[in-house]
Chains A and B, each alone.
Chain A
Amino acid sequence: QKEVEQNSGPLSVPEGAIASLNCTYSDRGSQSFFWYRQYSGKSPELIMFIYSNGDKEDGRFTAQLNKASQYVSLLIRDSQPSDSATYLCAVNRPRSSASKIIFGSGTRLSIRP
């Protein structure tokens, strides 16, 4: 079992709809969670991070964290063609066990006009 798992996709969503990206993690002690966007041939760029259970909103993006179920999700409202990219979920294992950020393999998102 991978430490951080994501559906590789591609996930195809019509323009203007809500895109929902999911991520599960195995280390129950993980404390912080990140979503990165990576365009083809470019480096990852941070979209959001979340530490507490519940929702965190930033513009069209909402991160959701459920530590009991060990999943984190990213919702993108009013999807635009420019949102087409690979979305990487990253999880920070706790410092007491040599803190390390583990990345998932990413989900490819395609927004169709």
Chain B
Amino acid sequence: EAGVVQSPRYKIIEKKQPVAFWCNPISGHNTLYWYLQNLGQGPELLIRYENEEAVDDSQLPKDRFSAERLKGVDSTLKIQPAELGDSAVYLCASSLIAGGSDTQYFGPGTRLTVL
């Protein structure tokens, strides 16, 4: 079974530029998560989708971040414009909620560097 796929793996941009990350979850997983992870910290949830619906985006900085999950499969996370403080690893995860389980499987992440 293929795991969560993310691209690109690395991205270097200058501040004020836009950037987008793409995620393809594990087949059949209806829940998709975007996390931000800073060095030495645990992942912090940005947004969670159940199918096409964003059910928790309370931690997403909506002035510059946006996300979409059209057709309830792939998802894209965008930052526009990027700031220096956005440098981090952006992780996508997916889960198949069964019996209340939220066991999440993570993709390899996208390491963003904003110069």
Which A residues have a C-beta under 8 Å from some C-beta of B? 4, 8, 31-32, 34, 42-46, 49, 88, 90, 92, 95, 98-106
Contact-residue size bin, chain B (C-beta under 8 Å from the other chain): 20 to 34
Would A49 and B56 count as touching, CB distance under 8 A? Answer: no
Which residue in B43, B44, B45, B100 is a CB contact (below 8 Å) of A31?
B100
CA distance A34 to B45 in the complex (A): 15
Tally inter-chain residue pairs, CB-CB below 8 A: 49
Q: Other than the known A44-B91, A44-B106, A46-B105, what 11 A-B pairs have Cβ atoms closer than 8 Å?
A: A32-B100, A32-B101, A43-B91, A43-B106, A88-B43, A100-B48, A100-B56, A101-B104, A103-B44, A104-B42, A106-B42
Q: How far is the CA of A105 from the CA of B101 in the complex (A)?
A: 22
19 A-B residue pairs with CB within 8 Å: A4-B42, A8-B40, A34-B103, A43-B108, A44-B43, A44-B91, A46-B103, A46-B104, A90-B42, A95-B100, A100-B45, A100-B48, A100-B56, A101-B102, A103-B44, A105-B40, A105-B42, A106-B40, A106-B42
